[in-house]
Amino acid sequence: MTGIAPGTEVRAMPEQKIKMSINATAVSDTIMESARTAMSRAERIRIGARLSTSIAGAGLLIVGMIYSRMQPGQPAVGALLSALASIVVGIPVMAMALKGFVSKKQEYYTEQLISLAILASMARGEYVTATLVPLFMAIGHFLEERSILGARLAIEKIKELNARKANLLEGETERRVKPEDLKSGDLIIVRPGEVLPVDGTVVEGWSSVDQAPVTGESVYEEVAPGSKVFAGTINLNGLLRVTVTGVGADTALGRVIDILKQAESSKAPVTRLIERYASFYLPFVISFAAVVLFLTMDTTRAITVLVVACPCAFVLASPAAMVAALAVASRIKVLIKNTGFLEKLSDIDTLVLDKTGTITLGRLKVSKLFPANGIDENELLARAACAGYGSRHPVSVSIFEEAAGLEIKLAKPEKVTEEPGKGTIVAVNGDELRLGRLSWIKEYAYDCKQCNEPGGTVTYLAMNGKYLGAVQLEDRPRPEAKQAIEQLRKLGVSRTLLVTGDKKSVAEKISDELGFDTCIAEALPEDKLTIIQNERAKGAKIMMLGDGVNDAPALAGADVGVALCAMVNDVAIGSSDIAIMTDNLLRVPQIIRLSHAVRSIINQNVLFGAGFSVAMLTLASMGLISPVLGAILHNGGAIFVVFNSARLLKTDIK
């Protein structure tokens, strides 16, 4: 490990961070295996039955349509297959509608309204309509189920960060135990490469610890006697003796799990658009048909009322637009797990962002060189890269890559020795190079008593007892970050907050450069959620953008949680509402533009559906249209809604 100055930050390279995240979380071989872990047996049966009937019904409908075309002389067979399709798909919906009728629960109004549409369509032989309407509803329900399961899966993935075993010291005896068997005050040993099983305080040893799972920093924290360490973090290269201070739910990681559960359960369920009106529309239609029958004694008029009252255009108003929007989102590699969040995006006025790996690249780059007198910058960089040769510490890697990029020739070291918590010692061409923390270099270099201390992420270099200079490194913002924030402001985001686990000096520099309204540094997961809860209490509509385990509670607690680079982090993708599968921040304003377009299309569809229903009911009650004509017209309304929604596919959201 390349030594660094006290208080120095050291960021991990992305490939290292990804590898450690995958190892730590023990990602399941398949998504389905993970989903099975998160679902109960009853849930698997219910979702399986719903999918099976939907697939079977769609299959029968397709077969029936094909048969009717191929055998026009046998229309009864095609009609029978289509009727079976509507029955297979409609039975589960009608069963739920009946359950709602008996229990009088409002949550079943949608099923009751859909059942009315199915029955009226089947009464007129409109089996295609009778099949497609419940199919659309099933798709919407399935998306909602996936959102709930995603939150549960995120909790399961966080649990997997916990160590499986701990090394308990009892006197001079070492014993392997389960972490939950430990108690406060116990003494444990943590070896290089092991995951810390508990929260604790270091009592002996020096090391670097990757605390990204808890703090969100791609920073290797230098720990020594007296330093606090957290469960779920990774001890990189030193032998540590740690006194236990927190176990299980009392650890920082345990609190992340608890907070995520609370946030998931407290988030208000998305109310489907149709449910807002179903409680009024259903009894109104039935009553209206009864009144028409009573006043006119004309059963044809009453049947026509039921036929034209089939709210197909109204039912499709939201789902059709959402399906089109999902297709648009998929083209830009955005996964929207619950379509209701597309509507919520239009109301967002406050943006909360994580820093490392979200607004920044998450890797170090040499920013400035501070050579000692008589040393030029190229010589300093060449010798620093030589000293870091062979080390995988992110500081060494960044310096080596900088030298390679400038095509600086390096001497190959003959011997490399790492001093945990201090730095590296390299023998090359008879010289001894040392690269590491300031206090260690001062002990070695006699002329380093008054050397430069530029601050930030800095490592120091000496050769043969003589100070050569310092190398400053920093994590840079993503190239598109400023442009993305400016676009978001134009889209209605009036306030931006940078909330990070990084040090204050580093966070404030990034905040000032990108023009954030507020910067909050050194924030743990529970702090991020508290900040979001406080903002929501003031009436803010918040979108949280993050990329790691530490962001999970905040992602779940925001009005809309968006995970960046979600394909490498199961916890982030599970706890978020929207997952951006790339690292391009410009996708954020794009999905907000998409949400505005979706809301506009849905409003148009709803107004058309409502107006169309009123017009058809009026014409039907006056006897101006027949049931057959009514069926044709109401299908035309549904077609209009579908085509109007399809306009989203050509929407420019760039």
pLDDT, one tens digit per residue, over 606-654 is: 888 778 878 888 888 888 887 667 767 766 777 788 889 888 888 777 7
Backbone angles phi, psi at 626, to 5 degrees: -90, 165
Please identify every stretch of the chain with a pLDDT value under 70, giving residue numbers as ranges: 1-48, 105-110, 113-114, 117, 124, 133, 136-163, 211-220, 252-279, 300, 303, 306-307, 310-312, 315, 337-340, 449-456, 548-550, 566-576, 627-628, 631, 634-635
The C-alpha atoms of residue 14 and residue 579 are separated, in whole angstroms, by 19
Q: Which residue has the tokens 């404030």?
A: 508
β-pairing, 234-235 vs 423-428, is: unpaired
Q: Global pTM? A: 0.60
DSSP structural state of residue 355: I
Backbone angles phi, psi at 579, to 5 degrees: -120, 120
Active site residue 298: no
CA angle 180, 184, 185 (to 5 degrees): 130
- Give the side-chain half-sphere CA count within 13 A for 172: 0
Does domain 14-29+162-264 correspond to CATH entry 2.70.150.10?
yes
> Cα–chain-centroid distance for residue 161?
18
The C-alpha atoms of residue 320 and residue 602 are separated, in whole angstroms, by 9
The C-alpha atoms of residue 416 and residue 436 are separated, in whole angstroms, by 13
Domain 14-29+162-264 and domain 362-477 have a common topology: no
β-pairing, 518-520 vs 495-499, is: parallel
Instruction: Determine the pLDDT at residue 40.
Output: 53
Check: CB of residue 627 under 8 Å from CB of residue 307.
Answer: yes
Sequence-ordered strand ranges (E) for 486-547: 495-499, 518-520, 542-546
The C-alpha atoms of residue 135 and residue 201 are separated, in whole angstroms, by 57
Helix and strand element counts for the chain (H, E): 22, 22
β-pairing, 495-499 vs 466-477, is: unpaired
β-pairing, 495-499 vs 350-353, is: parallel
- What is the spatial order of strands in the sheet that 220-223 belongs to? 220-223, 207-210, 234-235
CA angle 272, 274, 280 (to 5 degrees): 130
Domain locations along the chain: 14-29+162-264, 33-159, 362-477
CA angle 160, 166, 168 (to 5 degrees): 165
The C-alpha atoms of residue 335 and residue 481 are separated, in whole angstroms, by 21
Query: For residue 119, with 0-12 CB atoms within 10 Å meaning exposed, 13-18 middle and 19 or more buried, which class applies?
Result: middle
Check: CB of residue 606 under 8 Å from CB of residue 316.
Answer: no
Residue 345, CA distances (Å) to 322, 494, 594 in order: 13, 14, 9
- What is the spatial order of strands in the sheet that 457-463 belongs to? 360-371, 466-477, 457-463, 431-436, 423-428, 415-419
Instruction: Determine the pLDDT at residue 258.
Output: 61
The C-alpha atoms of residue 371 and residue 380 are separated, in whole angstroms, by 6
Report the SS3 class of residue 69: helix
* Structure tokens given for 117: 């549409």
Q: Which residue has the tokens 């807002």?
A: 276
Residue 43, CA distances (Å) to 56, 132, 575 in order: 20, 24, 19
The C-alpha atoms of residue 187 and residue 491 are separated, in whole angstroms, by 54
Report the SS3 class of residue 360: strand
* Structure tokens given for 449: 């008593």
471: which residues sit within 8 A by CB, 6+ positions away?
366, 368, 369, 370, 380, 381, 384, 399, 458, 459, 460, 461
pLDDT digits (tens, 9 = 90+) for 106-136: 556 657 766 776 777 777 677 777 777 677 6
Instruction: Determine the pLDDT at residue 106.
Output: 59
Report the SS3 class of residue 452: coil
CATH of domain 362-477: 3.40.1110.10
405: which residues sit within 8 A by CB, 6+ positions away?
none
Euclidean distance between the first and final Cα of the chain, in Å? 44
β-pairing, 334-336 vs 220-223, is: unpaired
Which listed residue (186, 199, 210, 354) is catalytic? 354
The C-alpha atoms of residue 230 and residue 254 are separated, in whole angstroms, by 10
Instruction: Determine the pLDDT at residue 96.
Output: 82
Check: CB of residue 202 under 8 Å from CB of residue 225.
Answer: yes
The closest of 201, 209, 137 to 420, measured between CA atoms, is 209
